[in-house]
Structure 1
């Protein structure tokens, strides 16, 4: 198949969406398919790649590092026609998504879409959230998703959300996946582990709580630190490591100083994805209080590295965290703190959870993700052919 993937979010921007698309592209190419990414240009990023076409763009939200593509419809149509794509797959609800929809309609091509974001949890980035209501977001999705041959939901949470106001929409749940070759346990030697722990700021006796993600309001990082502050105060050898950048970086530091735990709160900043295995390998458990996720890559990576996981109960984690099996699902922030405390004090239980995490992760590989997308493409293309023949 020849597949055109449209996205406003791609490298050099590093996040779960761009990582998921990279997995999809690489996996499809390994299966012999031809894949082109149609995305946006970034200032000062000059790397040229034959299978990536970049449109001019402008910044939309600096805090989210989001850029919106400016694609002339005739140019985009010509690219799609010249490349002879068999199917289009959009990963953006912004301008490139709309342009791809128009191209698919004009050229009568099958088109599918993946919804990656719970926008109602990101309204605060637009005029403080005062001008965008949940009903407006539903109205937008109703307009945008009309005409798609299928919509991919990375989790049951997203499927339930869309079905709530679009019951006739054809949706399919295809969860994200992570490469087992990049993330697997026991790859570090004892010497390497000790060296990296020292570089991060950990002593040999420290127990490490890990959070990976944007340091932003929707991730509830301040709530997480507040609820764990008492535990950290009681156990000076417990440390929490925040990996990632974001607008709340300084507020986390201030909150740590306020609770007199500044020496136990480590902010690494951004760490390249290819080096993240080393960080997961150091941790004793992974934790997040976020309720805005869809199907987070970071949790899959943590499970693949054998980490016990403690999260707030949310449908986005359904197939990643099994309660009292490979982790804990907390109904409140207070319960989350209690579960973290109990796990850190129980080495045997953490080991059992770690083994179960590896079993859970076997179902969440990038290979399985690619297989499911490939099967959907073939089904959608076949249905489009049958529809075309019927209308002739």
Structure 2
């Protein structure tokens, strides 16, 4: 990867629900950016969309790299060369990729899922289509002020989910729960 490249990282299993096809289609529209997908077929041929996705992986656009499954200890290297985390997934829980990128203050472009509204509190760029993702990534790659703004947004996610803050939230929860301990006993 060219050290001067603007790198967009996607990570996770290669499967339809992860939005891999949108990732690749967005990359085609931004040929001056480098797109890396870290992950592979954890379930082999049983993977939803396997044949179509395998064909894409075997013949990606020139600006797309599929790494295959990456050992956990090597992911730090990928994050450190990443300019943006791109999560076009259609269905998610709370992917660790978001926390990992946030801890490095990497801006994020994420599909607009209801799940993220509460847990990420708007500290990311959101889109719902290849057109929107293309526009957002173009803006981040070409506008340093916007890029810095979303680095700061990722920093806010990192602070919110820091060990210290999570401990404070759990402590408050258990203190509140303790207040009601006898209310429901018979």
TM-score, length-normalised on structure 1? 0.40
Corresponding residue for residue 387 of structure 1: 184
Cα gap change, 1:381/1:321 in structure 2, threshold over 3 Å: closer, same or farther? Answer: closer
Question: Which secondary structure state, in structure 2, belongs to the residue aligned with residue 205 of structure 1?
Answer: coil
Shift in Å at residue 271 of structure 1? 2.6
**1:294 equivalent in alignment to 2:100:** no
2:154 aligns with one of 357, 363, 366: 357
2:106 aligns with one of 304, 307, 326: 307
Corresponding residue for residue 252 of structure 1: 56
Corresponding residue for residue 159 of structure 1: none
Report if the CA contact (8 A) 1:284-1:307 is conserved: yes
Q: Kindly provide the CA deviation profile for residues 316-372 of structure 1, in whole angstroms up to 9, marking residues without a partner as x.
A: 2224263xxx53211423111111122112233212321332133201224433443
Corresponding residue for residue 44 of structure 2: none
1:239 aligns with one of 34, 42, 46: 34
1:276 aligns with one of 62, 72, 75: 75
Shift in Å at residue 374 of structure 1? 5.1
Corresponding residue for residue 135 of structure 2: 338
More helix by share: 2
Question: Which secondary structure state, in structure 2, belongs to the residue aligned with residue 245 of structure 1?
Answer: coil
Cα gap change, 1:321/1:384 in structure 2, threshold over 3 Å: closer, same or farther? Answer: closer
Shift in Å at residue 284 of structure 1? 1.1
> 2-side partners of 1:317 and 1:281: how far apart?
24
Shift in Å at residue 307 of structure 1? 0.8
Question: Which secondary structure state, in structure 2, belongs to the residue aligned with residue 387 of structure 1?
Answer: coil
Report if the CA contact (8 A) 1:306-1:354 is conserved: yes
**1:264 equivalent in alignment to 2:63:** yes
Report if the CA contact (8 A) 1:299-1:320 is conserved: no
> 1-side partners of 2:150 and 2:97: how far apart?
17
Q: Kindly provide the CA deviation profile for residues 281-328 of structure 1, in whole angstroms up to 9, marking residues without a partner as x.
A: 111111121121233321122122111111221222224263xxx532
Report if the CA contact (8 A) 2:29-2:134 is conserved: no
Structure with higher Rg: it is: 1
> 1-side partners of 2:108 and 2:121: how far apart?
7
> 2-side partners of 1:321 and 1:383: how far apart?
29
> 2-side partners of 1:250 and 1:345: how far apart?
32
Cα gap change, 1:321/1:379 in structure 2, threshold over 3 Å: closer, same or farther? Answer: closer
CA RMSD of aligned residues (A): 2.6
Question: Which secondary structure state, in structure 1, belongs to the residue aligned with residue 160 of structure 2?
Answer: coil
Cα gap change, 1:321/1:205 in structure 2, threshold over 3 Å: closer, same or farther? Answer: farther
> 2-side partners of 1:273 and 1:367: how far apart?
24
Report if the CA contact (8 A) 2:139-2:146 is conserved: no
Report if the CA contact (8 A) 2:17-2:90 is conserved: yes
Between the two structures, name the one with larger relative contact order (CA 8 Å, sep ≥ 6).
Answer: 2
> 1-side partners of 2:178 and 2:121: how far apart?
34
> 1-side partners of 2:176 and 2:156: how far apart?
30
> 2-side partners of 1:336 and 1:301: how far apart?
21
Q: How does 1:33-44 map to 2 (within 5 A)?
A: none
- Runs of 5+ in structure 1 lacking a partner? 1-201
> 2-side partners of 1:312 and 1:358: how far apart?
19
> 2-side partners of 1:214 and 1:370: how far apart?
30
The size of the alignment, in residue pairs, is: 176
